[in-house]
Amino acid sequence: MKPSELTPEVPSFESLFDLNEIQKIQDSFASATGVASLITDVKGRPITKPSNFCRLCRDIIRKTEKGLINCMQSDSIIGRRRPEGPVIQLCLSGGLWDAGVNISVGGSHIASWLIGQVRTSDMDMDRAKQYAGMIGADEDEFVRALEEVTVMSPERFAHIAEFLYLIANRLSEQAFLARDNARLLKGMEEELEKRIKLEKEQEQMEARLRQSYKMEAIGTLAGGIAHDFNNILFPVIGFSEMVLEDLPPDSPLRNSMKAVLKGAFRARDLVQQILIFSRETEQAAHPLKIQLILKEVLKLARASLPSTIKIRKDIPDKVGPIMADPTQIHQVAMNLITNALHAMEENGGELGVALLETEVDKTGQTAPECRRGPMSA
């Protein structure tokens, strides 16, 4: 299993809360208590905008390289995970009092609320001046800015930190509920998507079933019509053959009767095709010369061909026979040619019909039922 499958994904603070609302709460807290305030992620990166930051920290200490490094180290310490209460200690940079509390969800630390930038009335100004020189800040400006910092007793600051701890616990509870609500909502959305997908699949299956019933009904109807039509063709073919036998060899009517008989045979083949469609008869594959069928189809198509369409054919006689049902081959060729003609009705063009023989090997065959050897295509 992957690590992500063993440990539930921890949501971010931003995904659980409205940051605009959180910013208002943070600003109000800082204004009411007189402390500076900021919410960071577990790596110390700010999530909210600083509230009530003093000039000493904002414009002097953090503007120096050493001072900024010390501030970040101090923030990481007061922002460390401590579920039992706030972390309260002197800042490692300017010596001001700072504190931090955790915001958690399901036992996972997701953010830290940091407060501070206050000093006691007895703070050692000489030591502060020395620190200013160490980080490269102007010592006199450092002291003046330090005198502007809010003065607060350690006891009062500790009470504010405890109050912030209660607020953080409340936010942690809300985060827990928000996470569970988000999971519940996501589960409901996934379930809804599954239901919609199942209903859609069911509708498609019902549509296919209805279509299957329709096709079965059409097949039954077509089979009945084909049988009736076959009964009509039987005397036409029989009597045409009898007339041909009685006609003298030089009779001018022989060609006409042959055309009638040929048309009747074509109609009989069409009936056979309808019976195959209705599944009332099986295909009858046997060796045939596909050239003859193609030439006959082109002859039929040429009669209805507009003058804007030319036919180019390459149908050599040397191509060998194939095993197929002649009626189906005739229908396939007719459909292909008809579709091509329809595509050229408006602008015209050239209809190319070619027949060639290719050798099928084990690696090149396109259908499993094909055997090795020559094949017409």
Write out the CATH class of domain 3-191.
alpha beta
Q: Which pLDDT value is given to residue 7?
A: 41
CA angle at 362 for the pair 356 and 366, rounded to the nearest 5°: 55
Q: Are 37 and 123 in contact (CB under 8 A)?
A: no
What is the CA 114 to chain-centroid distance, rounded?
A: 42
Options 2.40.40.20, 3.30.200.20, 1.10.10.10, 1.10.287.130; CATH for 195-260 is 1.10.287.130
Q: Which pLDDT value is given to residue 362?
A: 60
C-beta atoms surrounding 38 within 10 Å: 23
Structure letter (DSSP) for residue 60: I
Whole-angstrom distance, CA of residue 162 vs CA of residue 86: 7
Structurally, what CATH architecture does the domain formed by 286-376 represent?
Answer: 2-Layer Sandwich (3.30)
Residues of the chain with CATH 3.30.565.10: 286-376
115 closest CA partner among 74, 67, 169: 74
Amino acid at 330: H
Q: Which pLDDT value is given to residue 50?
A: 92
pLDDT along the chain (377 residues), means of 10: 46 84 91 91 88 90 87 80 85 85 83 90 86 88 90 92 88 74 61 77 84 74 75 82 84 84 80 63 71 79 73 83 78 80 78 81 56 60
Q: Are 294 and 312 in contact (CB under 8 A)?
A: no
Q: Which pLDDT value is given to residue 221?
A: 75
Q: Phi and psi dihedrals of 360, rounded to 5?
A: -100, 125
